[in-house]
């Protein structure tokens, strides 16, 4: 970071250089996905299957649905998100791409941000498809601006800490099993706050009851992003 600031004085637009590095990593992930279409397809089918299983497991009739929709949605997002996080880091590790990325003469945090934004994009795309499908299947209107905001904030926090933990998990022996075990307990504050806030908006509770949860989401978004940014160097270091 300090190097970046020093360079800013010398050169004219190294800030733009940092952003370009982030954008390049994001673009790389999106382009690879656009050509292979492995990840999004799997995440989507998986998400729909989870909803399907919930339908049978919980007998989602009209009365039940009203109170547990937010819970079902967030479990679905969390599971599908784990799938995506694992895959996006496993690709880097398996084909030695991560080493190539680390050799690039950019700040390591740019790589973290690039991967995190890429993961966030995949998660948001899946959510953008799951939410309307859920609305149609269960005849409930989920297009509440508050709910969409909560989904955005919750995904940011989940991906911020998830990207860091996924890059740790892929380097361990038990990698596929490890990510959910590492991620779920740490991300729990995000998930709890997101479920409670979503529920508040879906039940049209007064804003004063929803705001504490939104605030908690914001706090954890900032905390997780900041900590991950600071320690990412140590995770990818050889």
Partner 1 sequence: MEATPRGLKGLTWLTAAMFAAALYLVLFYAPREAVMGDVQRVFYFHVAAGWVGALAFLVTAVSGAIYLARADRRWDNIATASVEIGVVFTLINIVSGSIWARPIWNTWWTWDPRLVTATVMELIYIAYLMLRQGIEDPDRRARFGSVYGILGFLSVPLTFLSIRIWRTIHPVVVGSGDPTAEGSFDMTSRMLQAFMFSLLTFTFLYATLLWHRVRLGRLSEKVEQLKMKVLSA
Binding residues (CB under 8 A) for partner 1: these are: 161, 164-165, 168-169, 171-175, 178, 181-182, 185-186, 188-189, 212, 216, 220, 223-224, 227-228, 231, 234-235, 237
CA 51 to chain CA centroid, nearest Å: 19
For the CB of residue 184, give the shortest distance to partner 1 in the complex, in Å.
Answer: 8
Produce one character per residue of 71-90: b if its CB has 16 or more CB atoms within 10 Å, e if not. Answer: bbbbbbbbbbbbbbbbbbbb
* Matching residue, tokens 């989507």: 44
**Which residue number, 148 or 192, has a Cβ lying nearer to partner 1?**
192
Residue 133 — left, alpha, or beta (φ > 0 → left; ψ -120 to 50 → alpha)?
Answer: alpha
The rounded distance, in Å, linking the Cα atoms of 126 and 12 is 39
**Which residue number, 34 or 177, has a Cβ lying nearer to partner 1?**
177
For the CB of residue 21, give the shortest distance to partner 1 in the complex, in Å.
Answer: 23
User: CA torsion 178→183→186→191, rounded to 10°?
Assistant: -150
For the CB of residue 31, give the shortest distance to partner 1 in the complex, in Å.
Answer: 30
For the CB of residue 156, give the shortest distance to partner 1 in the complex, in Å.
Answer: 16
The dihedral of CA 129, 211, 119, 176: what is its sign?
negative
Q: Is 164 helix (H, G, I), strand (E, B) or coil?
A: helix
**Which residue number, 119 or 228, has a Cβ lying nearer to partner 1?**
228
**Which residue number, 23 or 186, has a Cβ lying nearer to partner 1?**
186
**Which residue number, 147 or 183, has a Cβ lying nearer to partner 1?**
183
For the CB of residue 188, give the shortest distance to partner 1 in the complex, in Å.
Answer: 5
The rounded distance, in Å, linking the Cα atoms of 168 and 174 is 11
For the CB of residue 70, give the shortest distance to partner 1 in the complex, in Å.
Answer: 17
**Which residue number, 110 or 216, has a Cβ lying nearer to partner 1?**
216
């Amino acid at each position: 970071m300090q190097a970046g600031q020093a360079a800013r004085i010398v050169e004219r637009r190294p800030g733009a250089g940092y952003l370009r590095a982030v954008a390049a990593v994001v673009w790389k992930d999106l382009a690879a996905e656009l050509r292979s279409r492995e990840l999004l397809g799997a995440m989507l089918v998986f998400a729909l299957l989870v909803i399907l299983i919930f339908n049978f497991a919980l007998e989602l009739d009209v009365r039940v649905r009203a109170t547990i929709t937010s819970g079902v949605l967030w479990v679905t997002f969390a599971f599908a998100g784990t799938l995506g996080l694992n895959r996006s880091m496993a690709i880097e590790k398996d084909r030695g791409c991560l080493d190539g990325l680390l050799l690039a003469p950019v700040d390591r945090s740019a790589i973290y941000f690039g991967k995190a934004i890429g993961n966030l994009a995949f998660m948001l795309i899946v959510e953008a498809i799951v939410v309307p499908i859920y609305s149609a299947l269960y005849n409930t209107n989920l297009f509440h601006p508050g709910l969409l905001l909560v989904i955005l904030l919750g995904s940011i926090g989940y991906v911020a800490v998830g990207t860091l933990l996924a890059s740790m998990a892929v380097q361990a022996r038990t990698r596929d099993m490890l990510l959910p075990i590492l991620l779920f307990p740490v991300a729990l504050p995000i998930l709890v706050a997101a479920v409670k806030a979503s529920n508040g908006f879906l039940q049209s509770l007064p804003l004063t009851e929803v705001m504490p949860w939104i605030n908690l989401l914001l706090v954890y978004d900032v905390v997780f992003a900041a900590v991950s940014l600071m320690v990412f160097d140590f995770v990818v270091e050889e």
